[in-house]
Chain A
Amino acid sequence: MSRVIRAVAVSVMMWLPMAGHADNKDVVDYRQHIMKSMEQETAALGQILSGAGPADNTVAHMEAIALMASIALKSFEPKVPGGAAKPQVWKDWADFSRRMQEFADKSADMAKTGREQGAEQAAMKVIEALPCKGCHDVYRDEKKIEPGVSK
């Protein structure tokens, strides 16, 4: 009887981590919401920095980007290929995760600079904080990007 109870307990414990992700599609959808939100925020920030958007909103967009960057890596931890994520994400996990962690750290620093020293100072950190293209070139399948999404 105790063996049966132990077996059931182990099965339940293996299933429990999956309770937060109902299925693989949810995993893919969730990380896409994070990435797409970041895409919209960086596009808005790009407009502002090129003089085509309201400068007063600069730091707000930086903060939103930093918030999403802080949870982006974790959203890729479940090994669920799909969406625009190439299988390389998990094959080269050490490199991918290093890039994402750097992105999280630098975008947080950019946002902090914006809060404490103002948008102009923070703007000088944008290029280093947002190395999106470099990572996308390696890990994103451009053929699976929806129309209208920036590359």
Chain B
Amino acid sequence: MIRFNRVPSLLWAAAVLAGTLLPLRSFADDQDVRDYRSHVMKSMGEQLAALNQIVTGKAPAADASVHAQALRITAGLAKVAFTEKVPGGESKPEVWARWDDFSKRLDDMVAAADDLARTARQGGVAAVAPKLNALGCQGCHGEYLVQKK
């Protein structure tokens, strides 16, 4: 026979236990997740565009290191931005369906951005140019970014 007077305390204990096991969510809702990763990716896009201008002589070479550093910082945030499985925005569902590949590409991008920042500090603009492709943006976008028509 169920002792009804014990049920509420058991439910309460289960709720507390579940609460301690659940990871604390950083985002208030799914749209926040999409917005945040959009901010991170767009910021990187602007850095890359600025660097492309610099290596083609259309912007001050002296700023290369600053942009490379900013890119390195933001690249390091991308994985966190995509860890929450929230499809939508410009992310294809393949991001999470093929998480091993996608997350490896992000790790590779961070390493490449690190190398780029180091190169920009030490080698100047000429050394930076060949490193931009190593970031792998196009290849990853081809697989995982919803292409605008």
Contacts and interface: CB of A to CB of B under 8 A. Distances in A.
Interface in B2-29: 26-29
Main secondary structure of the interface of B (DSSP, over half): helix
B132 to A, nearest CB: 14
B53 A40 contact: no
Interface of B: 26-29, 32, 35-36, 39-40, 42-43, 46-47, 49-50, 53, 56-61, 63, 66-67, 69-70, 73-74, 76-77, 80-81
Interface string A8-25: 000000000001111000
A20 B39 contact: no
Given A40-B46, A56-B80, A71-B66, A20 B74 contact: no
Which secondary structure characterizes the binding site on chain A? helix
Name which of A22, A40, A56 has the most chain B CB atoms within 10 A of its CB: A40
Contacts of A34: 46, 50
Given A60-B74, A71-B63, A40 B43 contact: yes
A70 B66 CA distance: 9
A63 to B, nearest CB: 5
A43 interface: yes
